[in-house]
Every structure is written in structure tokens, then in C-alpha cells.
Structure 1
């Protein structure tokens, strides 16, 4: 099975063996986009999305170069994965032959399996990449992860497992370091557990971060 890991550092593995990334970072980004968007994607839209500041002819030429770089990388491991026609480009794999962790995360959430979903998350989506389209999907992923963590925390709280609730709350705070509501819930759970010192420390940490990074005080 080929595995494309997008949660945290991007990596592509075949039966546990990691592929060497192509020299072109844009080619790697293109693979990530295709992995996150199953099915054929129009070439003209891909060219415009990845090379928006150049002429259409130049953008399409750059897309061809990126596809060529991906073919060289994928050919020895999955020769049929990348399908590039005259008008469309996409990934094609038989059922069970390709796993994309970010898509698996969403599928697990849809099935109500929050605990398994959050275990897949080893850092932010496509860590180290800075592109406009990635910012959008990264924020969507972050909101889904925060929601799953809060459901887990609330479930632990209802069952009397404050320690478990605090673990999920701390992880929420790490995902959303400036989120005041996230930190309020963490502080409340720490206080409810009797750990007043940890609750005060969590408040001071948030207060200092907001003041240092945003020049504001907690509301």
C-alpha cells in the first residue's frame, strides 16, 4: 500500500519505505493537493492555482515540469498512481492501495471515531508549507481537530475522568495557542481537578503570549 502522510511533515511511503521527495517543492505540493482532492483536476485550474502570477503558457509549462518530477519520484513505487491527460491530472489507485492520512482523519470523524482520528494528527497539516490554498485547508483541518478534542474532553468530563479531559484540553491549547475559549476550558478543568497552581500557570502563560505576540490582554 502507498501511504501519503500530510498531517505533520509530508511523507510518501510504500510498504514502510519512505520515498525521496523530488527536488521541486512545488511538485510535492501538487501531489499533496491531488491527494486531498480525489478525482481528476483540470490542468488549467491547477496551473492557475499554483502559478497565478505568470502567463498561462508559462504556468502550464511549470505544471508539466512538476508532473514530470512527480512521475520520476512515483514511477518505481506506484507507476499507475499519477494519471495525467491532456486536460486533467489526478491520482488513481485501486481500493485499499492508497491511504491519505488527512482523508482518513475526516472519515473517522464522520464515523464518530474521534479518538482514533486525533491519534493520526502529528502536527499541523502540511507542516512547513506556506501557500494560499494550504492555509485554507489547514484552517479547516484545525477546526475539525479542535472540535474532536473538545468532544473527547467533554466526554471524559461527563464520565468523571478529569485527567483525561485535561489531556485533551491541553492538546487543544497547543493547537490553538491564542484561543481564549480553549484556554478558559483548560483552566476550568484544571481548577476542578484541584490543581490551582496549574490553572494559574495556564492563565499566566496565555496572558503573556497574548501580550507579547498580539499586544492585548485576555478578555
Structure 2
């Protein structure tokens, strides 16, 4: 079976699972279809690219199952013309999908290896609207203005208000919070003026955020 056929069948099975969950956003699904998932997983895990399993990648990080990734993006509700910040680049898959919808994406990670690999994939796919940067996301990101959407994929102990303050009015942020030592839950904040509406979503497997840039990797 060719790699293209594996991609096509994997995506078709994903769409069926997502539709069973009530996810049928054409723009989002088109962006996912145009972003070959196998490009973002280590070669030895290519058969699992469209599975629900968590896949290990470089620097002790991981790639969440594709169903979870798309489910989160569905809840983020990215629209054309928006500026999006992602904290935790990982493989770069979610940034690549977002970059096919939004006007501009800034994605950051503490690991140089991850950001370099993600940049290589963006170049390979011809995605010019995405800025990949090595940065410490544990204390916010200054000097970048405001964003319509913010997605965080490393867990904080409490909602990172310094990121919430970078949202435009009407903007929203999705971030994982450590509810206990071994439980992490995705939470969404929606900003209206100076007020925030909070929705608790579902448990996720993300790891606690680590401060400072990685010195070796």
C-alpha cells in the first residue's frame, strides 16, 4: 500500500470517527486533509499516524492522538483572518493545520530540536503564514501584541492569566490545567471586554510546563 493511500484511508477513518462525535466542520477537516499526518510522526510510527494513540517524539515530548488534536481545534474555532498563538509546538501538526485557516500563526517551544524540525516541515509543505520560534512560554510572551486565539499544550497549575491578557475582546484560549498530581484537564477561556467566561472541557494527557529554554536539545 502506498503512503498516499495510507494517508487517504487514515483520514477517511478519522472523518467517520469525528462525525460520530458531531464534528463536521468542512474548513477544519479540509485543513487536516491537506496536512499529511505521517509527515509529523517518527517513521517507525507511521502506521499509527491516524490512530488515537499518543506517539512519542523527540526531546521526551509526544504527539497527541489525531482525534484529540482535531477535537481541540474544533473547540478553538479558528477563523480566516485571525492571529493565533500556540504554546508548545511539539511536532508542528496543530500549527500546520491552524496555518491553513488563520492569517498568521506564532508557535513556540522550549526545545530547539522540536522547533527546527517543525520549521523544516512547514517549509516542506509551503506554509509561509506560520512563525516557529524557540522561546520560554512559562511566563507569557511579551512584545507580540494580541491574538484572536491562543492554544496551550503544556499544563499550568492555574489558568495562565498573562496569556489571557494577550487575547482580543471576543477571543478565546484553550489550555490544560493540572487538577491534581495525575489529572490534567483542558479549559477554555472566552474574553468579553475585561471579563472571562470559563468552560471546563475534558481530561487530556499533557505534561506540566517546564520553564526556561532547553540548553542541550
Structure 2-normalised TM-score? 0.26
Higher helix share: 1
Structure 1-normalised TM-score? 0.26
Higher strand share: 2
Rg: which structure is higher?
1
